[in-house]
Structure 1
Amino acid sequence: MGAVLADLLDRYRPADADEEADVERVRRLLADASDPWTRAIPLHVTASALIVHPPTRRVLLRWHARQEAWLQVGGHGDPGETDPVAVALREGVEETGLSDLTAWPDAAVVHVVIVPVNAKGDEPAHEHADVRFLLATDRPGEARPEKPDAPLRWLTVPEALAATSEPNLRETITRAARLLEA
């Protein structure tokens, strides 16, 4: 069930020892779990993306009420989904209304991070093995929030860095900035 993700990870080079440890945990998850995407296990795969508009070098952040933070788009795979790029694209379209999203500059992994998730209601605390990508749009003006309590904001890289205090997202934004400047 994790063949697509395993292939992506084989081509990915972690940036530091912490990320290397997270990638290794994802590899073990792929080897040990019959379905690494299922929410039934304490560590499961999610896919997310930072949406960019390369001509203006802006990034799109979405307000996540549960985390009370400006974050990237993304989430869990639906039953049967095993391609993290497809999951990130589906989530991106659902959360922004942008129907022209494409992997940018290609479909390579940009960041891998294990993210702790607090318990809520009957859902226990768990971890997301978040595999991150960049998605681009040619029509930033068409972005529409999925729901009223999930506004979207196009921001310059410095504005995006100021809008979030999440170190892992700040790292994703920094990696995107390097590609936007190239």
Structure 2
Amino acid sequence: MSLHDDAVLVLKGYEGQEELRQTYLDHLAAHPDGMWKSCHAGHITASALVIDPGHGRVLLTLHRKLGMWLQLGGHCEPEDAALEAAALREATEESGIEGLTLLPGGPVRLDRHPIPAPCHWHLDVQYAVQAPPGAVQQISDESLDLRWFGYDEVAGVADDSVVRLLEATRARL
């Protein structure tokens, strides 16, 4: 199965955000290359909120290009076997933490946001991953900073999309 086919199946099975979910499905139906950065009409991305429920905190990255505190994630790669694998790969690469595990139940949220030209949209499929006990992060080249924030601190540093992702993730715990 291709990553494109996997994304369609994941989105068809996703419950909630019906209008946005349909926007994603319509995009993939219209763009066979809709998974890839090269699709200038927009493309699917995969991200993951790294959580440490035992300490009531999340790991956020100060994004190098955007200068904002965000969850970890990014573009799908040809070697990604599934959308959740792309999210897990991105979270592992950007956090430096081995042994992250996906929260069951598939994506937590969808978030569509504009990006600078030449592309137009990121259609982000957002997952949550749990850090193993004693996890120590290591900053990557994609981040200006990487830091743990208590659940109650997130709204003070991150935008509404991250806050909504945290709320949806906490509802799953």
Asked if Structure 1 and Structure 2 have the same fold, meaning a TM-score greater than 0.5 normalized by the shorter chain, the answer is yes
- The corresponding residue for 2:44 is 45
Shift of the alpha carbon at 1:10? 2.2
The one-letter amino acid paired with 1:179 is R
Q: Deviations over 1:98-120 (max 9, x none)?
A: 1111101x15110011111123x
Runs of 4+ with deviation above 2 angstroms: 79-82, 147-150, 177-180
SS in 1 for 2:153: helix
- The corresponding residue for 1:64 is 63
- The corresponding residue for 1:153 is 147
- The corresponding residue for 1:5 is 7
Q: 2:63–2:142: 8 Å Cα contact kept in structure 1?
A: no
Aligned counterparts of 1:141 and 1:52: Cα–Cα separation in 2: 11
**Pairing 1:177–2:152 present:** no
**Pairing 1:126–2:128 present:** no
SS in 1 for 2:107: coil
Aligned counterparts of 1:178 and 1:168: Cα–Cα separation in 2: 15
Alignment counterpart, residue 112 of structure 1, candidates 110, 113, 130: 110
Q: 1:82 to 1:32 in 2, by over 3 A?
A: farther
- Structure 2: where are the runs of 5+ without partners? none
Could you state the TM-score of these two structures normalised by the residue count of structure 1? 0.85
**Pairing 1:83–2:77 present:** no
Could you state the TM-score of these two structures normalised by the residue count of structure 2? 0.89
The one-letter amino acid paired with 1:133 is Y
**After the TM superposition, which of the residue ranges 2-11 and 146-155 deviates more from structure 2?**
146-155
The one-letter amino acid paired with 1:78 is E
Aligned counterparts of 2:29 and 2:142: Cα–Cα separation in 1: 40
Q: Deviations over 1:57-98 (max 9, x none)?
A: 211100002111000000001125351111111111110111
- Structure 1: where are the runs of 5+ without partners? none
- The corresponding residue for 1:31 is 29
Count of residue pairs the alignment pairs up: 170
Q: 1:148 to 1:76 in 2, by over 3 A?
A: closer
Q: Percent of aligned pairs with the same residue?
A: 28
